Chain A
Amino acid sequence: MLDAKIPSGSLSEKWTKYKGSVKLVNPANKRKLEIIVVGTGLAGSSAAASLGEMGYKVKAFCFQDSPRRAHSIAAQGGINAAKNYQNDGDSTYRLFYDTIKGGDYRAREANVHRLAEVSTNIIDQCVAQGVPFAREYGGLLSNRSFGGTQVQRTFYAAGQTGQQLLIGAYQALERQVALGTVQMYSRHEMVELVIIDGKARGIIARNLVTGELERHFGHAVLLCTGGYGNVFYLSTNAMGSNVTAAWKAHRKGAYFANPCFTQIHPTCIPVSGDHQSKLTLMSESLRNDGRIWVPAKQGDHRPPNEIPEDERDYYLERRYPAFGNLVPRDVASRAAKERCDAGYGVGTSKQAVYLDYAAAIQRYGKAEASKRNLGNVSPETITQLGKDVVKEKYGNLFNMYEKITGENPYEVPMRIYPAVHYTMGGLWVDYELKTSIDGLYALGEANFSDHGANRLGASALMQGLADGYFVIPYTLGNYLSDEIRTNNIPTDHPAFVEAEKHASERINKLISINGTQTVESFHKRLGKIIWDKCGMARSAEGLKQAIEEVRALKKEFWSDVRIPGTINEMNPELDKAGRVADFIELGELMCLDALERNESCGGHFREEYQTPDGEALRDDENYMYVAAWEMKDDNWQLHKEALNYEIVKPSQRSYK
C-alpha cells in the first residue's frame, strides 16, 4: 500500500497543524536554491510567481510563445470558493463534502479539505491582483451556481474566468521575471527528466525554435503541465496540450494514478465532420439558465421551435428533480448519450441534444420589465429585455456558438453533445504534492488527488491556484530545507549527458522513420480507439480489444510515420510526433486501468456495473483505492493507495 503521508489529527486541523510544524528555509538559503517549473497555466504561473516572491531562483518553461497562452486561459464558467457571501448555507465543510461526493468517493479526504480551506484565500488574492470578477450594483462580488451543488459559490468574470485568473497569475509571474527571480523559457518543451541519486535534479528541454536540446539543473522540479485529454484526439483541450512531461516522469519511475478517470463534459458543440480538429465547450454555467431537452418522440425531424412544449422531454429535470439541469457532468453526459443512443438525438448527425434559452429569456425579460416598472409591455419588448440580460451573462459564449455553427442561439436552441474535457487522473502525489520520485512534484490537472472519479464544475481553477499559490510554497520548503547543502550540480554530470543522449536518440529515430503516414492520421486513429472503447462507456471486452489495437498502432507508428523537415529548425510536426508517441503509450495504460477497475464510478462507467436505472454502481469493498501504476520495462505494475473516509460516509450518489 502506498503512503500518502497524510498528517495526523482531525480532518479540519490537518493543514493548520502541518503549516505550523513544517520545516522552513531561511531567506539566504532560498536565494541559493533553484526550482524548475514546467508549464505556466494556473498551477505553474501561480507556483512560479509565489516561489519567486519567496526568494527562490525559479526557471519556468512553456511550449507556447508566452506563458499567458496556457490552456487554463480557456476556462469559461468560474471558480468555486466557500465564501458564503450569498448567505445560502455554504461552508468549508460543504464545499469539501460536495467535492468528495461529486468525485464519487474516489478522492482523498485530506487533500480535498485543504482545497476547500484555501479556496477563500484564492478569491482574495485574485481580487488584490486586479482580477475583474463580476460584481453586483452594490460593488460586491457576484456568484452563480454550478453542477453538483445547491449553493451559489462560483465566482466568475463573464464567460472568461480562466482568462482573467491566468492573466492575474501571468502578471504576477512577469513581475518576478522583471525582478530577476524567475527566468522564463517560452517555446521550450521538457523532453526528459534528470534523476541523480534517486532525486529529480533537472530536465532536458528542447528549444522549439532552434530544435536544440538544453540541460537545466534544479534542486526540485515541478510539473504543472495540465491534463491528457488530447489522447482522445478530439477534446476541448488546446491543440498543444500534451502528456509528454508527465509521461517522461512516469517512464523514469513516477507513478501514474487513475488514468482511466477522464471527464466527458456534457455541453460541447457537436462534431460537424471529419475535418474537425478540436471541440469547443459551452460553459456549464449555461446550465444555470438553459434547459436541456430532446423530442419526446423518436426520430422527430421538426425544427426545435415547431415542437410544442408537451412533446419535449426535459430528461434531466425528469430523471433528477432535485438537481435538474445542474446534475454533475458525468451524470449529465451519460444521460445525453442514453437519449441519443435510444434514437432521440437531434441535428443532422443525431448525436446532439438541445440546450434551450427560450424560457430563460422570457423569465429574465419579465423580471427586467418589472424592475424598470414598465407596466404593460409587449411580448417583443419582454423578449428583447430578456435577450439583453442573457447577453450580459453569457454573451461571449453565445457569440462563440454562432461563429462556429452559423446559428443564432438567441433564436434557436443550441445543439450540444458531450466531449472530452478534463482528466482527473494524473501523476500520483502525496499530501505534499510530491510524486513517487523525490524532488519531483505535480500540481494542478497534472496530478490526480482532488477530484476523484469526477470533477465538479469550477473546481479546476480552484485546484490549480490552490496548489500553486497556497500549497506548494509550504510543502516544497519541507523538502528543500534538507537540500540547503546541495550545491548546484554542473550539467556535465553523467546523468545530464545520458538524459540528453536518450532524448536526442528518440528524436533522431522519429525523424529517420520516413514512412508514409502523417502524425495527424495516427493521432486520429488513436483518438477513435480510445473514444469508442475507453470513453463514456467501457466494457471488459472492448477494453481488451482496445489494448490490442493500441499496441498494434504503436508498432505501426514507429515503423511508418512520416515527419517532414529536419531536427534543427522550427518543426511543429516533429514536436507533435513526440507528443503523439507518448499519447499512444498512455492510451494503453488508460485501457489497462479501466479494465482493472471492475466497477463504475464517476466518469468511469463500465457497462457491466450499473444500477437498474442506469446509474454508476460502485464497489467500495474491492475498489476503494487509488490505482497508481509504475512502469517497469515497458510494462506496468499496480500499486494501491487505500482511501479512508473518516468523515464522509460513502453512499450511492443521488441527485434525485
Chain B
Amino acid sequence: MQHYSMNLKLKVWRQRNTNDQGHFETYDVENVSSEMSFLEMIDVLNEQLIAKGENPIAFDHDCREGICGMCSMVIDGRPHGPWKGTTTCQLHMRAFKDGDMITVEPFRANAFPVIKDLMVSRSAFDRIIQAGGYISVNTGNAVDGNAIPIEKEKADDAFAAAACIGCGACVAACKNASAMLFLSAKVSHLALLPQGEPEKKQRVVNMIAQMDKEGFGSCTNTYACEAECPKEISVLNIARLNREYLNSTLSAD
C-alpha cells in the first residue's frame, strides 16, 4: 500500500452548547498522512488549536475500534463518512486526497440534541431499551445453556441483528430521523430467540411507544439507514418489526 501526505481544508460545525445557535468554521490541516485514522487527523487539528490558544473541537469517541458506538459525525453529508460499513473511528485518511475540502457536522435529529460541537446526546436510545429491550431474567434464574437448542440459522440471524452498536447513524441518515432500524434490530434479536418469546408482544408495543415519545420520525422505507449503518444491519429487521407489531396489536391475548 502506497502511503502519501496531503493538505486539507476542514469545514467543521462549532456550537458552544445546546442553546448556542452554532456555525461552521474552516480550518487548514497540513501534512496529513494517509495512514492516519480520521479521528487522529482531528487530534492533530485539535493539538494545533490548543497551541494557538483556541478551543479544540469536541467530539465523542472511545474504543476507536468500531465497536463501542460512541463516535458519530456526519462527514461530507454521510453519517460516519464515505466508507461503507465503517464507523468514523475506522475511517482512514486514504479515503481522501490532497486538496480535499471535508465538511464535518454532528448527527442531526430532534431526539439527539447537540451537547457541544460534534457531540450529541443519544440517551433517547437508552430509554427505548428501558421500555422493553431486554429479557426479564433475574440473575440466578437460568437453566443450563444447552437446555434449549436454537437452530443455527435463527441464532445467526439474532446475532446479526444484535451486532447493532447503538451509534445512531440510522437516525442521522434518515430524512425523517426515524429510529426504526435501531429499534427493529433489538426487537428482532430478542424475538428470534426462544428466550425472548414470552415478552415479545408487549416488548414491541412499548418500545415503539417510547420511540414516538422521544420525537423520532416515522419510517418511509427509503433504506438510507441500511446504507449508512456501520454494522450493515439489514432493513429486513424493520419488516420483522412491523410483523411483530401487527401480530401483537391485532391478535387477541
Contact = CB atoms under 8 A, between A and B. Distances in A.
Contacts of A272: 35
B54 interface: yes
Interface in A555-609: 562, 564-565, 569-570, 572-573
Given A71-B63, A83-B145, A158 B51 contact: no
Interface string A102-129: 0000000000000000000101111111
Given A85-B146, A138-B149, A175-B136, A69 B62 contact: yes
A435 interface: no
Nearest to A465: B139
A473 B139 CA distance: 10
Given A65-B123, A125-B139, A160-B163, A238 B62 contact: yes
A50 B208 CA distance: 27
A136 interface: yes
A65 B121 contact: yes
Contact of B17 (A162, A278, A569): A569
A29 interface: no
Given A71-B68, A520-B47, A128 B162 contact: no
Contacts of B58: 570, 572
Contact of B64 (A46, A68, A239): A239
Contacts of A572: 56, 58
A162 B68 CA distance: 10
B68 A73 contact: yes
A178 B63 contact: no
Interface string A128-140: 1110111111111
Contacts of B148: 127
Interface in A151-196: 155, 157-158, 160, 162-164, 167, 170-172, 174-175, 177-178, 184, 186
B39 to A, nearest CB: 7
Interface stretch (B96-104, B173-181, B190-198, B241-249): B190-198
Contacts of A85: 146
Contacts of A178: 130-131
Nearest to B139: A50
Contacts of B36: 273, 275
Nearest to A68: B166
B51 A127 contact: no
A342 interface: no
B139 to A, nearest CB: 4
Interface in B69-109: 69-70, 83, 85-86, 90-92, 94
B160 to A, nearest CB: 9
A130 B145 CA distance: 11
Given A65-B122, A135-B150, A403 B86 contact: yes
B149 A140 contact: yes
A395 to B, nearest CB: 11
Contacts of A642: none
Nearest to B34: A406
A214 interface: no
Interface string B138-157: 11111111101111100110
A133 B135 CA distance: 16
A132 B189 contact: yes
Contact of B193 (A130, A155, A158, A570): A130
A26 B49 CA distance: 57
A174 B63 contact: no
A10 interface: no
A564 B65 contact: no
Nearest to A571: B58
A570 B90 CA distance: 25
A68 B63 contact: no
Given A272-B35, A275-B43, A403-B86, A124 B50 contact: no
Nearest to B143: A124
B33 interface: yes
Interface string A70-94: 1101100000000101000000000
B116 interface: yes
Nearest to B53: A564
Contact of B50 (A133, A240, A281, A573): A573
Interface size class of A (residues with CB under 8 A): 35 or more
Interface string A607-628: 0000000000000000000000
A518 interface: yes
B196 A130 contact: yes
Contact of B129 (A49, A127, A162, A171): A171
B146 A564 contact: no
B166 A66 contact: yes
Contacts of A129: 134-135, 137, 195
Contact of A273 (B35, B39, B162): B35
B62 A277 contact: no
Contacts of B10: none
A594 to B, nearest CB: 28
A273 B33 contact: yes
A272 B40 CA distance: 12
A297 B204 CA distance: 62
A178 B151 CA distance: 32
Interface in B24-68: 33, 35-37, 39-41, 43-44, 47, 49-51, 53-56, 58, 60-68
B253 interface: no
Contacts of A164: 159, 162
Nearest to B167: A69
B170 interface: no
A137 B134 contact: no
B159 A158 contact: yes
Most buried by A among B94, B130, B136, B193: B130
B62 A128 contact: no
Given A65-B122, A406-B1, A238 B64 contact: yes
Contacts of B70: 64-65, 69
B133 A128 contact: no
A273 B53 CA distance: 26
Contacts of B62: 64, 69, 71, 238-240
Given A209-B115, A518-B47, A569-B17, A175 B134 contact: yes
A236 B65 CA distance: 9
Interface in A271-306: 272-273, 275-278, 280-281
B144 to A, nearest CB: 6
A470 B50 contact: no
A404 B64 CA distance: 11
A83 to B, nearest CB: 7
Contacts of A123: 145
Contact of A140 (B116, B119, B125, B146): B146
Contact of B40 (A277, A470, A564, A570): A277
A503 interface: no
A407 interface: yes
B145 A167 contact: no
Contact of B90 (A66, A138, A158, A400): A400
Contacts of B37: 277, 404
Contact of B139 (A49, A281, A570): A49
A138 B152 CA distance: 7
A232 interface: no
16 contacts: A65-B123, A71-B62, A124-B145, A130-B196, A132-B162, A135-B152, A140-B149, A141-B146, A158-B159, A171-B135, A186-B126, A238-B63, A406-B92, A518-B50, A562-B50, A573-B50
Interface of A: 46, 49-50, 53, 64-71, 73-74, 83, 85, 121, 123-130, 132-141, 155, 157-158, 160, 162-164, 167, 170-172, 174-175, 177-178, 184, 186, 209, 236, 238-240, 272-273, 275-278, 280-281, 399-400, 403-407, 469-470, 473, 518, 520-521, 562, 564-565, 569-570, 572-573
Given A66-B126, A275-B36, A570-B17, 4 more contacts: A46-B139, A65-B70, A74-B68, A132-B156
**Top 10 nearest A-B pairs by Cβ distance?**
A139-B149, A171-B134, A128-B142, A124-B142, A132-B159, A178-B130, A406-B1, A50-B139, A127-B145, A238-B62
